[in-house]
Structure 1
């Protein structure tokens, strides 16, 4: 592109120089020739006037006197009737420009100049015009190179940006070049980079959330399958298989919720459900893990509450809180249900040391953890709660108390979601 721009600019300049330069040379040559002819005619008339005045006054006429009085350095021939011709200067050889003037005493004055003087002057003019043309060509080349660099460098930079996007580096560069069209392309590339970065972030977040949220259900399912493989009692096999199927359904719900939240965290599928059923299911699922750790998991509070939300999402929130107490807390873990205003509240607390003071305000941020864990569980739990219009808060740091708030009634009776039992 740079070479094409230089060549095109140089071609335009050469055409302009050719058109205007030739015209200028023609005009200048004619002007110089015309000026030389006028000068010779003027010289002849002046000599004729001097000769007339001397003839009328009876003064002597000779070449030295005429040359001194007229100041001419050109060749001149004066012919006076009855006298010998008088010549001033040396007669030029070759082509000449001459002018003849006639005096009042019938004398004839002829002045000649060599055409080479005109040729020399035309040559000097041509040198000046040629110098100006060369300067114009050099300036045009420099300007074309500058413009080429101004356009080619941004294009190269934009190509590198596009290549970086294609190689998986979505960082926007926010560079502008002062050319509206190129700046528009840069804006589009930066917008694309930001969209790609958001998409990659969402994909990584989905992968991390899925890994964290599926770990516990898969472990529980594996334990159920081990129980089935280790027993020969048909009743036990049937019971464990039923529990395993329920866990598979919850696992499917977890996957669906993760995919839904990855597309739009505000999308929920809230219904009116029996809160006791979700609490009992989580108690049954985690009791064996607590028993293996030598700890207790208890439940108390108001019974028979109904709340608005997604049962699978609520179960995942409670699972995250219970698992968090198992990993980081101590002593007995208690689930307590209560009512405050038009909200149902499930509190999870334990007898451990609580949340460190430096983590209190950031406990729900991703990658924030008091120990060697992923720091994802509580962040995902808050997202799940907010997706259905609830909220997850830490009410107390020592001992730790986490509370899940859910609406007890639908927002509108006309649009009341279906009830499950």
Structure 2
């Protein structure tokens, strides 16, 4: 491309110089020839006037007298009736410029000059025009190279940016080139890089969330299947199979929830549900794990509360808090339900050492963990809570108290057949 730009620019400049240069040469040649001819004509008229004045005054007219009146390198011949012809200078040969004038006494003056002087003048003019044209070509070449580099270098840079995007490096470069068209392409590439970066981040986040969120249901499901495999009691098998089916349904809900959050983390499917059922389900699900660790999990607080949220999402949030207490806490884990204003609150606390002071403000950030864990669980739980219009907070660091705030179901007004809209 660089070579094409330089070639095309030089071709245009050469065409322009050729057209205007030829025209200028023709005009200058004619001008110089006309000027030389006018000079010879003027010389002839001047000599006629001198000869007339001398003849009228009775003075002599000869070559010696007139030699001082004729310009050098010119030839003059004066023909006077009844007198000898007077010649001044050396008569030129070849192509000449000639002028003839007749005086009042009948004399004839002829002035001649060789065309070589005209040719030399035309040559000097052509040399000047040629030098100017050469300078114009050199300037055009330099300008063409500069413009080619100015256009080709950004294109090469943009190609490298596109190649980087294709190789999986979505970092925008934010380079601009002071060329509107190229800057527009750079804007599009940077915007594409940012979109690709967001997509890759979302994919990585989905993979991390999936591995973390699916671990608990799969572990619980495997425990139920182990119970089935080691028992011969048909009633126990049926009970454990029913619980396993419940675990499969929850696993399906987790997968759907993860996919929904991957598309739009703000998307929720909130409904009114019985909060006690979700809390009871989580306690029954985690009690075997706590029993095997020599610990207990209990529930207290206000019964019969209903909240507006996604039951599966609330279960995942509680599971993340309970698992966090199992891994990092100690002693008995307590779930307590209460009401504050128009919100239902579920608190999860334990008797462990609590959250370190330096992690309190950042405990819900991804990759932040007090021990060798992924640091994803609490971040995912917070996102799930916020997707339904709730919030997850750390109320107390030592002992740790995590609280899930959910909107309560609006009660039906007396005397009105229409229930109130849930407070979101």
Q: TM-score range by the shorter chain?
A: over 0.9
* C-alpha distance in structure 2 between counterparts of 1:266 and 1:136, whole Å: 65
Q: What per-residue deviation string (whole Å, max 9, x for no partner) do you get for residues 182-202 of structure 1?
A: 222222211111111111111
**Structure 1 residue 168 corresponds to structure 2 residue 168:** yes
Matched with 1:229 is 229
* C-alpha distance in structure 1 between counterparts of 2:399 and 2:64, whole Å: 132
Matched with 1:385 is 385
Taking the TM superposition and a 5 Å limit, the aligned residue runs for 1:16-415 are 16-410=16-410
Q: CA deviation at 1:355?
A: 1.0
Which SS does the other structure have where 1:101 is aligned? strand
Q: CA deviation at 1:9?
A: 2.0
Q: What per-residue deviation string (whole Å, max 9, x for no partner) do you get for residues 87-133 of structure 1?
A: 22211111111111222232221111111111111111111122222
Aligned-CA RMSD value: 1.9
Does structure 1 retain, via aligned residues, the 8 Å contact 2:96–2:113?
Answer: yes
Does structure 2 retain, via aligned residues, the 8 Å contact 1:50–1:70?
Answer: no
Residues 270/411 of structure 1: CA separation in 2 closer, same or farther (3 Å cut): farther
Residues 261/414 of structure 1: CA separation in 2 closer, same or farther (3 Å cut): farther
* C-alpha distance in structure 1 between counterparts of 2:277 and 2:180, whole Å: 63
Q: What is the TM-score with the length of structure 2 in the denominator? A: 0.93
Which SS does the other structure have where 1:319 is aligned? helix
* C-alpha distance in structure 1 between counterparts of 2:137 and 2:336, whole Å: 89
* C-alpha distance in structure 1 between counterparts of 2:32 and 2:419, whole Å: 103
Q: CA deviation at 1:19?
A: 2.0
Q: CA deviation at 1:402?
A: 0.4
Which SS does the other structure have where 1:372 is aligned? coil
Q: CA deviation at 1:69?
A: 4.2
Which SS does the other structure have where 2:193 is aligned? helix
Q: Number of aligned pairs?
A: 417
Which SS does the other structure have where 2:68 is aligned? helix
* C-alpha distance in structure 2 between counterparts of 1:46 and 1:387, whole Å: 110
Does structure 1 retain, via aligned residues, the 8 Å contact 2:73–2:113?
Answer: no
Moved more, 316-325 or 295-304: 295-304
Q: CA deviation at 1:414?
A: 5.7
Which SS does the other structure have where 1:249 is aligned? helix
Q: CA deviation at 1:415?
A: 8.1
Q: CA deviation at 1:249?
A: 0.7
* C-alpha distance in structure 2 between counterparts of 1:42 and 1:72, whole Å: 15
Does structure 2 retain, via aligned residues, the 8 Å contact 1:354–1:399?
Answer: yes
Which SS does the other structure have where 2:367 is aligned? coil
* C-alpha distance in structure 2 between counterparts of 1:165 and 1:359, whole Å: 36
Q: CA deviation at 1:73?
A: 4.2
Q: CA deviation at 1:301?
A: 1.3
* C-alpha distance in structure 2 between counterparts of 1:27 and 1:15, whole Å: 18
Residues 151/81 of structure 1: CA separation in 2 closer, same or farther (3 Å cut): same
Q: CA deviation at 1:283?
A: 0.9
Q: CA deviation at 1:3?
A: 2.1
Q: CA deviation at 1:354?
A: 1.2
Q: CA deviation at 1:169?
A: 1.3
Which SS does the other structure have where 1:26 is aligned? helix
* C-alpha distance in structure 2 between counterparts of 1:281 and 1:187, whole Å: 52
* C-alpha distance in structure 2 between counterparts of 1:62 and 1:336, whole Å: 142
Q: What is the TM-score with the length of structure 1 in the denominator? A: 0.94
Does structure 1 retain, via aligned residues, the 8 Å contact 2:70–2:76?
Answer: no
* C-alpha distance in structure 2 between counterparts of 1:410 and 1:41, whole Å: 118
Matched with 2:415 is none
Give structure 2 stretches of 5+ with no counterpart: 413-417
Which SS does the other structure have where 1:161 is aligned? helix
Give structure 1 stretches of 5+ with no counterpart: none
Which SS does the other structure have where 1:268 is aligned? coil
* C-alpha distance in structure 1 between counterparts of 2:25 and 2:419, whole Å: 95
* C-alpha distance in structure 1 between counterparts of 2:71 and 2:307, whole Å: 124
Q: What per-residue deviation string (whole Å, max 9, x for no partner) do you get for residues 239-270 of structure 1?
A: 22111111111111111111111111221111
* C-alpha distance in structure 1 between counterparts of 2:419 and 2:275, whole Å: 22
Moved more, 276-285 or 146-155: 146-155
* C-alpha distance in structure 2 between counterparts of 1:297 and 1:391, whole Å: 23
Which SS does the other structure have where 1:191 is aligned? helix
* C-alpha distance in structure 1 between counterparts of 2:343 and 2:329, whole Å: 27
Does structure 1 retain, via aligned residues, the 8 Å contact 2:70–2:88?
Answer: no
* C-alpha distance in structure 2 between counterparts of 1:4 and 1:60, whole Å: 76
